[in-house]
Each structure stands twice: as C-alpha cells, then as structure tokens.
A and B are shown apart, each in its own frame.
Chain A
Amino acid sequence: MQIFTWLADYVAYNLLHLEKGHHLTSAIHFFIEDTSKIFFLLLVIIFIITYIRSYLTPEKVRSLLVKKGKNVYFAHLLADLVGIITPFCSCSAVPLFIGFVEAGVPLGVTFTYLIAAPTVNEVALVLLYGLFGWQIAAIYILSGEVIAFFGGIIIGAMKLEKYVEDYVYENVSTEIDLDVEDAKITFTDRVRESFEYTMNLIKKIGIWVIIGIGMASGMHGWAPTGFLAQIAGPGNPFAVLVAVLIGIPLYSNAAGMIPVVSELIRLGVPVGTALAFMMSVTAVSLPETILLRQVIKPQLIAIFLGIVTLSIIFTGYLFNFLLP
C-alpha cells in the first residue's frame, strides 16, 4: 500500500508544490492517498467477489442449505458463511425469504442468512481493510458472523413461525427443483458482467466515499488526536448505545461513514464503539425491514431488530473491554 503514499507525496509536493507540515497540506495529502487507495481496492476486491458470487445464485444457496443442512448448527454455519459473499440487495429480501421458507429452510437459518448477508458486505470490507488494516477487517467480519449465527439460533429456538404471514406457508411444496445447474454463460460474459457490476457499484457509492474521505481529511488536518476521547471515550458508558442509535437510520451511506469512523478512532473514540456504530449502519437497514413487513408480522420484525441491536451493542462493549 506504500505506492499510494508515494503517489500522494508526488501530487502534493511535486505537482501542487504544497508546503510540508502545513495543516492544509496534510489534509490534501491524506485525501489523495486514501481516495486512490480505496478506489483501487474497490475495483480489485469487488471484482473478485462479484466473479466468485456469479457461481453462487440464491437458488444454489437454497439447495445447499436444504441438502447439507440436516444438522441445524451446521445449517446456521453454512448460512452464515454464504452470507459473507452473496449479494444482498434489500430489493431481494422478500423473494429470498419466501424462497427459503417454502423450500423448507428453517426460519432461524433463514434469519442467520438475512443478518449475515448485509452486515458483512464487501464495501465495508474494502474500506475497513484499506483504512484500518486487515486485523480490524477480520474482527469486523468475525463479529458480524457471530451475531448472525446466534441471532438466527435464538430466532429458531423461539419458534416464531406463527409470526410469518400465513400465505408464505401455504406455498410450501416439496416440488421445488433443488438441482440447480450453473447458468450457461461463457467465461468472458461472466468477467464482463462482474466488471460492469463493479463499475456500477463504484459509480453509485463513489460520491459517498469521496465525501466521507473528504470529511475525514478535514478532521485529519485540524482536529488533534485525542480530541473526542473526552466525549465518546472509554469514560462514557453510554457511548456505544448512542453510537448504535445514530447508526441505524444511516444505512445507505455505509461507504461514506467508514472513512469518518476511521478518523474518529484516531481522535480518541474506542474501537468497540466505532465497530458498533459501523455495524449498526450496515446490519440494520430500514428499507429492508419495511419490505420484510410484507412477509413477517410486526412482532417478528421487532424481535429481529431487537436481537440484532442488542448483539451489536454487546459487541461494542466487548471490544471496548478487550481492546482498551
């Protein structure tokens, strides 16, 4: 990643002739280094993930879960792992939910998948890796996976099938074709489609990444390290709680939030509080939740939101405790 520092050095000192050590120089240097690095990583990593996922259609995931999911813990684990790389668009939440349930995938396992898929998403992964390094990215994935695993198991154990809208179970059939074959597309088409998807995604989130890094750069140039330690530091027991409550409504801007969060950590916000904030941004999506109302009753939505929110808060405190 050294190359992006060199690039920023070159642009800031040789092209723009900025004075070293100045606040503005430091902010501009930071902005160039981070945007170039993040866009490069987005391009490479999202392309690779999209290519891999072109083999993992929802139909295939479903047949995998039905066929290999005899042991319920194994089924949760499988749903959890598949959730890391599968696409997740809130648009598909409803058909996916019905498709799983009517093929006989248990409700708890379905929820493990519904929690894991958006929480651990590739954009968050790229930004965390680029801005914090692989350790934090790994901690983030692991926490998301653990929350989805146990969240799904709890929902499964509570026997909440009665809170699924009746018509979903009316469709349950044994005739669903579970022998899914790979779509017949050529290697070049697969690569082309993955590349197009990647470019479209970058176009969509790019502006948020730039705004996010821009805000972080501003803070980088001026606010001193430790600035926020007083307000949101380990001394404030409510910091995690407040961070999660702020994070939940911010769903669509995960790409812009993470650069700011990385700056917040430098300014003294503990890692656990920051992780909890980011997770609440990605995991609990209000649009998805509203759409899910078409298939599940409000009680189950409340339980689902409650479990996810509490787990995220718990994770936040846990990491603040473990990594002070």
Chain B
Amino acid sequence: MIIKILGTGCTNCKKLYENTKKAIEMGQVAASIYKVEDVKEIMKYKVMSTPVLVIDEKIIFKGKVPSPEDILKAIFNEMLNKNKG
C-alpha cells in the first residue's frame, strides 16, 4: 500500500504526515508514506485544498487533518475494498 501526503509544506501538512505515521504504527499496516511537496505534482490530482491524503492513487481526505483513528479506519476500508475487487 502506498500512501501519499500532498501539501506545500504548511503546518497542517506536517500534522497530517505525523497522524498518518501514527495510524500505520497503531494498525501495524505494511505501507510506505511519501510526502509530495512539488506544486506541479500536487496539481495533477486536481485538488483545490491541501493537505490531501492519497491511498494507492485514490484521494481519501482533502483540506483537513483527520485523527490517526480516522486515518486508520480509512486505510482498513481501502483494504476491504481491494479484497472485494
């Protein structure tokens, strides 16, 4: 599982990165997190608010900083969806 955090480097973006790291530790999920800070890269996702949490190229949260618990829930949801598909 590949998780990307899109954001131009503001405090909320850093917070989202921290929360995502915590979520992965809490859930013992095998995932790698990448920070995407380049504006041109970010714009490819057609978002208008940052930070954005992307799981396997799918936009999960944008413009907010969810708690580690909520992020973990979203990660598990994505895993379930994939197994179904």
**Are B12 and A89 touching (Cβ within 8 A)?**
yes
Contacting residue for B43 out of A57, A100, A171, A291, CB 8 A: A171
Which chain B residues border A91 with CB–CB below 8 Å?
A: 7-8, 10-13, 49-51
A-B contacts, 11 of them at CB < 8 A, read A58-B49, A59-B48, A91-B13, A91-B49, A94-B8, A95-B49, A99-B48, A100-B48, A197-B64, A287-B10, A291-B10
Tell me whether A98 is interfacial, beta carbon within 8 Å. Answer: yes
Kindly state whether residue B74 has any CB partner on chain A within 8 Å.
no
Interface check B27, CB cutoff 8 A: no
Instruction: Report the minimum CB–CB distance from A53 to chain B (whole Å).
Output: 11
For the complex formed, measure the closest distance between the CB of A287 and the CB atoms of chain B, giving whole angstroms.
7
What residues of chain A lie closer than 8 Å to B49, measured between beta carbons?
57-58, 87, 89, 91-92, 95-96
B39 touches A92 (CB 8 A): no
- Contact among A62, A171, A291 with B48 in the assembled complex (CB-CB below 8 Å): A62
Q: How many residues of B contact A (CB 8 A)?
A: 18
Say whether A58 contacts B10, CB under 8 Å: no
A-side contacts of B64, CB under 8 Å: 193, 197
Q: Is A167 an interface residue (CB 8 A)?
A: yes
9 new A-B contacts, CB < 8 A, other than A95-B48, A291-B8, A291-B10, are: A87-B49, A89-B10, A90-B10, A91-B11, A91-B12, A94-B50, A95-B42, A197-B64, A295-B39
Bound-state CA distance A87–B8 (Å) is 17
Residues B7 and A98 in contact, CB atoms below 8 Å apart = no
B49 vs chain A, min Cβ distance (A): 4
User: Roughly how many angstroms separate A57 CA and B51 CA in the complex, as a whole number?
Assistant: 14
Q: Do A95 and B47 touch (CB < 8 A)?
A: yes
Q: How far is the CB of B23 from chain A (nearest CB, A)?
A: 16
Within 8 Å CB of B39, what residues of A? 94-95, 98, 294-295
Q: Give a binary string over B32-54; 1 marks a CB under 8 Å from any A CB, 0 the rest.
A: 00000001101100111111000
Q: Closest approach, in angstroms, between the C-beta of A221 and any C-beta of chain B?
A: 35
Bound Cα distance A16, B77 (Å): 54
Interface residues of A in 262-306 (CB under 8 A from B): 287, 291, 294-295
A-B interface, 8 closest residue pairs, ranked by CB to CB distance from nearest: A91-B10, A99-B48, A58-B48, A92-B49, A91-B12, A294-B39, A91-B50, A95-B48
Contact A96 B48, CB 8 Å, known A87-B63, A167-B40, A171-B43 = yes
Q: Mark A169-210, 1 if CB is under 8 A from B, else 0.
A: 001000010000000000000000100010000000000000
> Given the complex of chains A and B, what is the CA–CA distance between A90 and B10 in angstroms?
8
Residue ID in chain B nearest A193 by CB atoms: B64
Contact B8 A294 (CB under 8 A): yes
Q: A58-B63, A294-B8 are in contact. Are A92 and B43 (CB under 8 A)?
A: no
Q: Which chain A positions have C-beta within 8 A of B10? A: 89-91, 287, 291
